[in-house]
Amino acid sequence: MQVSKQQRRNILKTLGAGAIATAIGGCAPMATRAPKYPRFYSRQPWAKPRVSMDNVIRSIVGHRPYRPSGFNVSKERFDEKTVVHNYGHGGGGISLSWGSSALAVRETMGMTPGDVAVIGSGVMGLTSARLLQDAGWNVTIYTRNVARHTTSNVAAGEWSPFSAHDPEVSSAAFKSQFAWASRIAHHAYTNLGGADYGIRWLETYQLSDSTEEPDNVELADLFPMTRVLGPGEHPFPTTYARSFVTMQIDPAVLLRQLIEDFQIGGGKFVIRNFKDRADVLSVKESVIFNCSGLGAAELFEDDELIPAKGQLVYIPPDPAVDYMTFGGGEGMLYMFPRSDVILLGGTFKLGDYTTNPEPEETFRIVTEHQKMFAAFG
C-alpha cells in the first residue's frame, strides 16, 4: 500500500518520537541502553559518565603528605612545651582522620585539660580539635589557610585508607596502629552518615586483570557485599572487577560541618603562618598538636616526609551515576560521582612539589576513562 507524504506526517504526529524509536528499534540500539550486567547493591540501571575533554570544568593539583614508614602520631617535649604530632597520612588522610586523631588525643592521657593549640585546619586538625573539645580542652586552631584552601579540601573523598604507607618499609607495630586507626575512623564515619557531613554509601568497582588480593586485606570486613566478577560479568574493559560497598565522603561538606561543630564547641581560629619550630613553640599554649601535614617537613625537620602530587579533573555532576571506580587503565585512575562534580583521578607522583596541572595528565585521565566506559550504552 502506498503511503502519501501527508499520511506519513499524520503518523509521525500520532506516534511521537518515542514510539517511532520503538518501531525502528531493530535498526540501532538506543543511546541510553544499560549494559546487561547485574548490579548487586544499587537498584538503578547503569549510567555512563559523560566523560570528554569538552566537559572538563577544571583540573586541580593537591599534595598528599606521604611517609613510607607511615603516619607520625607521637609526643615530644620541648622544655615546658608538649608537642603531639599527627601528620603524614599520604592518600588516606580523610579515611584515617578520626582514628589517627583518637590516637593523638590519647597521648594527652594523664594531663589536666586546659588550653591547647592545634596547628593546621585540614581534616586532621579539625578532627583532633573536635576530639580534644570532647575531652574537655579549650582549643585554638592556628592555620595559614582556611579549610577550603587545604589539601583535605581537594582530596577525592572515598573511605578507603590506602596509599598511606609502603608495606615494604613500615613496621609491624605501625601496621597494627594503622589497622586500629582505620577501624576507629570507619566507626566514626558510620555514626556521621548523612547529607550533613557529606557521607553516603556507594557501590564501588576495583578494576584489574589480576585476582590478587588488595592491600589491607585485614580490613576486608569493613567493605560489605564484596565479590569478584570475572569475564562476562561486568561492563568494564579489565578481566576482573572487585565489587564492594563503601562510603563516599564529600570533603567540602565534611570540612564545613566540622568547622561549624568546632565553633559551636567554643573553638577559635587564628590565621598565622609559622616559619620554623621555634615559631610554633612561641604560641601561648603549653600543649600543641602538630597537624600541619606536609608543612611538618620544614617545621619539625622530618626528612622522610615528601609530597605525593595528585591531579584531579572535574566534569559536571550527574545524579544518575551512583557508583565509584578504581583502576581500569593507564596510571592511577578513579572516578567518584560527588554532588558538586564528577571527579576523575589521577596521579601519585612522589617528591613532586609542582603545583601546576599538567595538560598531558588531564588528557590521559580523560581518555583513559573514556576507554573504561566504552562498553556502556
Condensed to tens digits (0 to 9), the pLDDT of residues 240-279 reads 999 999 999 999 899 999 999 999 999 999 999 999 999 9
Q: pLDDT at residue 155 above 80?
A: no
Q: Which of 25-29, 55-59, 146-150, 315-319 has the lowest mean pLDDT?
A: 25-29
Q: For the domain covering 53-372, report its CATH number.
A: 3.30.9.10
pLDDT band of residue 330 (cuts 50, 70, 90) is: confident
Q: pLDDT at residue 19 above 70?
A: no
Per-residue DSSP letter, 167 = T
Find the mean pLDDT for residues 203-229. Answer: 89
Model pLDDT, residue 7: 42
Per-residue DSSP letter, 92 = G
Q: pLDDT at residue 9 above 60?
A: no
Model pLDDT, residue 218: 87
Residue 373 CA to residue 320 CA, distance in Å, equals 15
Report how far apart, in Å, the C-alpha atoms of 331 and of each of 78, 245, 334, 343, 345 are: 43, 23, 10, 16, 9
Model pLDDT, residue 183: 97
pTM: 0.87
Torsion angle of C-alpha atoms 349, 353, 356, 360, degrees rounded to 10: -30
Model pLDDT, residue 331: 82
Model pLDDT, residue 21: 33
pLDDT band of residue 156 (cuts 50, 70, 90) is: low
Q: What angle do CA 162, 180, 193 make, to 5 degrees?
A: 70
Beta-carbon-side half-sphere exposure of residue 138 (alpha carbons within 13 Å): 5
Residue 57 CA to residue 343 CA, distance in Å, equals 10
Find the mean pLDDT for residues 228-239. Answer: 94
Query: What are 66's strand-pairing partners?
Result: 89, 306
The C-alpha cell of 288 is what? 600543641
Model pLDDT, residue 33: 47
